[in-house]
């Protein structure tokens, strides 16, 4: 068998391969044996076509000839019979033909297919057609035909397919069409009436009269039961013809985009009807037996009408799969309208006036409904009407008036993938916590009034996307996604929670929440107007809240003498204006520069005016008054956090820690003193700022051998007065080259014997005086110096000046100045 097929195709291809050159025409093997397809494009004359193909192929070969985009002005000079082959298909599109002469078509008695469409013909070439009595298919579409007269098709009485689409036909004469027609295409013309020209076409099976201006079909369609397809859409029909009630063979009826007010029950006996397209009409009423015998209908499109009730008209349509009743005037819908429709997959009830959903007392478990659209209605409560739809995968309830969800509204929806509640008035999603939706992957609750999220996703184990944009969410519990792990086709993924335009997007606590969600395979998405608009908020927050402040060290001169205790000057930026745009609110909440004494026995925290380094800053808010805290001589650590909602304290010792808080005045923030008894204790107080609060920079230094006498109040006051007159020192460069570090170490080793605290080692930063280092690595340690950190310039200086004379005296001193870099982890 395989060999026979190969032989047949080999012989067919041989018809093209062994022939002499037929250029500019081309030859291809046909789909059947002994069939050849010839194509001639862009030839300059019909004479060139004849000369190229004449006597080049066997006379018994069936030829399908296509001549397109050519200049055939000399068409009447030659004949197709001059080519000496058996022509059975002829296609002559896109040749700008205005008429067809009779001479070239003489003798074409074997032609069964003729296409002369896409030309400029203004009348039907009846003389040329008379020479093709065997013609079965005639295509004269997309021309400029104006009318069909009685004699036009007199010579082709065997034709079955007649295509006259997209002309400008305005008149049809009675008896002009051959009675042998099975398919007649008159679509896209300018007909206002069929003029009885189709009444006698009893064999007609498919009729296309769409996109005309026909107002009535009364007594126009042929009687009998042969018509199977009626395409009458985009006309001006006001009613359907009465004789349609006897068309039992109808399978497809497209009557959309007309002016129909009623079906008048003409379709009730169409037992073979499978598709009805009747949208965009003016239908107001459906009779209860409108589709009484239409049990085979699978698609019913009734959208954009004025239907107020289904009136149980769908119950006989047992094989209905897709039903669309969107954009109607339905005010109440009962699930009992769908009872017994076990094949129904999609039901669209969007943009109606539905206020109430009524449950079916018999239940909906037997329904196989997959997609249910109830969006843009007036539903204020679900009343459990949808519970039990176990095969439902997409439920659209957007644009309604839902204020509350009830426990049980979504019970039994074990296959639900997408739930859309966008544009309602929901204040919470609490009922979802007690509802199990094991397959839900996408939840859309944007444009509601939700204020908080607690354990609302508890019943959504595989949720992958939650759209909560444009709500009023100001609080999110860390337990929101405890039981949720995104899975798509059993492939693990990350849950994405979209929170654009919610109050929480301006909350600094979101920085910590982003990390907590990331640990639980979830991710908060969205942009906030409080931060840079072109970046995700969870990308911006870590960069903004990881504050790396430059630290400068200088000695104060009090009453003409230099204070032996160096002062650490910490720059805390205030609100900055750049290009007339305010930077993120984090910077706005930070305070002014503060001056922190390195005397740990009597620490002094003094406000400083904005340094010249921040010349572009706006005037700073009033600073709190200086506070002096007296601590016992053996106590080692002092911190002054601002009163905030969350403070994390970390102590690297096993000794007991006591905390006291004192208030100096109404303008002074509470000062928290953390005292430990161990001499080598380092305590870090990390504060999470909130909008409109002041973030202090906490610098802790320890001096295991404090001086005998504390700094008195007079010196402190003078220090404060003179601190404001200080010239802003140069900010230390945090990056040091290895070679320079080695030179500094050699220089510091020579100064190890000098124990005078006022003799500060000089570095390449000649304008800055360093605080004496209190950290000395173990003697003989070969550990490499860690790279400098931008978060603490003083720590980097401590590494650069690796050895000081003080180090040998204080081996148990604090490691470095501690500056909080990030909000604490709960």
Give the CA distances from residue 73 to residues 43, 48, 89, 118, 127, in Å, rounded to whole numbers and listed in that order.
Answer: 11, 12, 21, 16, 18
**3-class secondary structure per residue, 531-596:** CCCCCCHHHHHHHHHCCCCCEEEECCEECCEECCCCEEEECCCCCEEECCEECCHHHHHECCCEEE
Distance CA(142)–CA(135), nearest Å, equals 20
Coil, helix or strand at residue 739: helix
Give the H/E segment covering residue 346: strand 346-348
What is the Cβ-side half-sphere exposure of residue 57, based on CA atoms within 13 angstroms?
34
User: By C-alpha distance, which of 118, 123, 153 is closest to 135?
Assistant: 153
Coil, helix or strand at residue 277: strand
Give the CA distances from residue 328 to residues 258, 282, 312, 348, 423, in Å, rounded to whole numbers and listed in that order.
Answer: 16, 10, 16, 11, 20
**Residue whose entry in the numeric block shows the structure tokens 């990308």:** 539
Residue 58 pLDDT: 84
Cα dihedral 651, 653, 654, 655, rounded to 10, equals -80
**Residue whose entry in the numeric block shows the structure tokens 């789909």:** 31
Give the H/E segment covering residue 467: strand 465-467
Distance CA(555)–CA(334), nearest Å, equals 84
Residue 705 pLDDT: 43
Cα dihedral 393, 399, 403, 405, rounded to 10, equals 0
382 C-beta neighbours (distance < 10 Å), count: 20
Provide CB contacts within 8 A for 598, sequence distance 6+: 565, 566, 567, 568, 701, 703, 771
Residue 587 pLDDT: 37
Q: Which two tokens stand for residue 547?
A: 């504050």
Distance CA(264)–CA(254), nearest Å, equals 16
Q: Which tens digits make up the pLDDT trace of 183-219?
A: 999 999 999 999 999 999 999 999 999 999 999 999 9
Residues in the chain: 826
pTM, two decimals, is 0.66
Q: Could you tell me whether strands 567-570 and 594-597 are parallel, antiparallel, or unpaired per DSSP bridges?
A: antiparallel
Are 357 and 382 in contact by the 8 Å Cβ rule? The answer is yes
Residue 467: φ, ψ to 5°: -100, 105
Q: Which tens digits make up the pLDDT trace of 546-560?
A: 544 444 444 444 444
Distance CA(696)–CA(520), nearest Å, equals 32
**3-class secondary structure per residue, 151-205:** CCCCCCCCCCEEECCCCCCCEECCCCCCCCCCEEECCCCCCCCCCCCCCCCCCCC
Angle between helices 537-545 and 510-519 (to 10 degrees): 120
User: By C-alpha distance, which of 480, 383, 359, 459 is closest to 414?
Assistant: 459
Q: Could you tell me whether strands 229-231 and 647-651 are parallel, antiparallel, or unpaired per DSSP bridges?
A: unpaired
Distance CA(300)–CA(279), nearest Å, equals 9
- Give 10-residue mean pLDDT values along the chain (826 residues): 42 54 84 86 93 86 94 92 92 95 93 96 95 96 96 94 97 94 97 94 95 95 89 96 92 97 93 96 95 95 96 95 97 95 96 95 94 96 94 97 94 96 95 92 96 93 95 92 90 92 85 88 85 68 55 45 46 42 42 42 44 36 40 37 36 35 36 36 38 40 42 43 42 56 75 49 37 40 41 40 39 40 49
Residue 684 pLDDT: 34
Are 674 and 648 in contact by the 8 Å Cβ rule? The answer is no
Distance CA(386)–CA(471), nearest Å, equals 26
Distance CA(440)–CA(460), nearest Å, equals 6
Provide CB contacts within 8 A for 619, sequence distance 6+: none
Q: Could you tell me whether strands 627-628 and 604-607 are parallel, antiparallel, or unpaired per DSSP bridges?
A: antiparallel
Residue 22 pLDDT: 82
Q: Which residue ranges make up each domain of the chain? A: 9-96
Coil, helix or strand at residue 118: coil
Residue 61 pLDDT: 86
Tell me the chain's radius of gyration from C-alpha atoms: 45
Strands of 551-554's sheet, edge to edge?
A: 551-554, 567-570, 594-597, 604-607, 627-628
Provide CB contacts within 8 A for 739, sequence distance 6+: none
User: By C-alpha distance, which of 155, 167, 142 is closest to 108?
Assistant: 155
């Amino acid at each position: 068998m395989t060999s026979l097929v190969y032989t047949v195709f080999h012989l067919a291809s041989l018809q093209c391969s062994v022939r002499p050159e037929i250029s500019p025409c081309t030859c291809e093997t046909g789909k059947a044996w002994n069939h050849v397809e010839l194509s001639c494009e862009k030839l300059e004359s019909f004479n060139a076509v004849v000369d190229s193909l004449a006597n080049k192929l066997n006379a018994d070969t069936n030829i399908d000839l296509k001549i397109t985009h050519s200049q055939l002005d000399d068409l009447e000079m030659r004949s197709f019979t001059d080519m000496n082959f058996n022509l059975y298909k002829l296609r002559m599109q896109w040749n700008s033909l205005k008429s067809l002469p009779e001479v070239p078509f003489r003798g074409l008695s074997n032609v069964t297919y003729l296409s002369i469409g896409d030309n400029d013909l203004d009348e039907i070439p009846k003389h040329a057609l008379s020479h093709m009595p065997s013609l079965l298919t005639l295509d004269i579409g997309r021309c400029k035909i104006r009318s069909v007269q009685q004699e036009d098709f007199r010579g082709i009485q065997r034709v079955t397919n007649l295509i006259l689409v997209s002309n400008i036909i305005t008149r049809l004469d009675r008896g002009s069409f051959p009675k042998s027609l099975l398919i007649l295409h008159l679509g896209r013309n300018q007909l206002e009436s069929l003029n009885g020209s189709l009444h006698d076409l009893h064999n007609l099976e498919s009729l296309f009269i769409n996109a005309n201006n026909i107002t009535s079909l009364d007594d126009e369609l042929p009687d009998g039961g042969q018509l199977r397809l009626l395409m009458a859409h985009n006309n001006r029909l006001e009613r359907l013809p009465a004789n349609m009630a006897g068309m039992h063979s109808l399978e497809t009826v497209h009557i959309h985009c007309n002016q129909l007010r009623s079906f008048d029950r003409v379709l009730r006996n169409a037992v073979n009807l499978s598709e009805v397209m009747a949208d965009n009409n003016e239908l107001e009423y459906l009779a209860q037996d409108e589709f009484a015998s239409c049990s085979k209908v699978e698609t019913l499109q009734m959208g954009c009408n004025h239907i107020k009730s289904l009136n149980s008209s769908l119950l006989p349509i047992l094989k209905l799969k897709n039903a669309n009743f969107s954009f109607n005037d339905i005010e109440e819908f009962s699930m009992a309208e769908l009872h017994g429709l076990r094949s129904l997959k999609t039901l669209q009830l969007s943009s109606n006036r539905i206020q109430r959903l009524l449950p079916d007392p018999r239940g909906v478990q037997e329904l196989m409904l997959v997609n249910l659209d109830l969006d843009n209605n007036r539903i204020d409560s679900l009343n459990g009407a949808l519970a039990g739809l176990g095969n439902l995968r997409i439920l659209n309830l957007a644009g309604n008036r839902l204020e509350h969800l009830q426990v049980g509204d979504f019970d039994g929806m074990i296959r639900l993938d997408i739930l859309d509640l966008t544009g309602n008035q929901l204040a919470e999603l609490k009922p979802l916590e007690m509802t199990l939706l094991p397959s839900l992957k996408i939840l859309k609750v944007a444009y509601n009034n939700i204020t908080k999220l607690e354990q609302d996703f508890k019943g959504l184990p595989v949720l992958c996307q939650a759209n909560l944009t444009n709500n009023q969410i100001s609080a999110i519990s860390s337990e929101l996604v405890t039981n949720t792990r995104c899975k798509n086709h059993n492939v693990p993924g990350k849950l994405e929670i979209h929170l654009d335009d919610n109050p929480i997007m301006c909350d600094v606590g979101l920085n910590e929440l982003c990390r907590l969600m990331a640990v639980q395979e979830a991710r908060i998405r969205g942009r906030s107007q409080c931060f840079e608009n072109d970046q995700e908020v969870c990308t911006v927050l870590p960069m903004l809240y990881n504050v790396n402040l430059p630290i400068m060290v200088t000695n104060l001169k009090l009453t003409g003498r230099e204070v032996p205790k160096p002062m650490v000057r910490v720059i805390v930026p205030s609100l900055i204006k750049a290009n007339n745009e305010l930077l993120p609110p984090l910077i706005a909440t930070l305070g002014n520069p503060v001056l922190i004494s390195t005397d740990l026995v009597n620490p002094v925290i003094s406000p400083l005016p904005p340094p010249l380094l921040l010349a572009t800053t706006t005037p700073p808010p009033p600073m709190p008054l200086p506070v002096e805290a007296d601590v016992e001589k053996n106590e080692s650590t002092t911190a002054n956090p601002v009163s905030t909602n969350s403070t994390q304290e970390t102590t690297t010792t096993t000794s007991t820690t006591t905390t006291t808080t004192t208030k100096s005045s109404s303008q002074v923030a509470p000062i928290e003193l953390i005292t430990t008894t161990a001499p080598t204790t380092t305590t870090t107080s990390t504060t999470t700022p909130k909008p409109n609060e002041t973030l202090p920079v906490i610098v802790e230094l320890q001096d295991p051998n404090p001086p005998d006498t504390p700094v008195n109040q007079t010196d402190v006051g003078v220090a404060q007065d003179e601190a404001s007159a200080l010239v802003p020192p140069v900010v230390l460069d945090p990056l040091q080259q290895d070679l320079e570090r080695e030179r500094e170490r050699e220089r510091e080793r020579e100064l190890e014997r000098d124990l005078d605290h006022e003799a500060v080692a000089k570095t390449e930063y000649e304008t800055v005086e360093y605080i004496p280092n209190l950290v000395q690595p173990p003697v003989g340690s070969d550990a490499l110096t860690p790279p400098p950190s931008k978060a603490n310039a003083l720590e980097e200086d401590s590494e650069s000046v690796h050895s000081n004379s003080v180090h040998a005296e204080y081996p148990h001193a604090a490691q470095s100045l501690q500056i909080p870099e990030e909000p604490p982890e709960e």
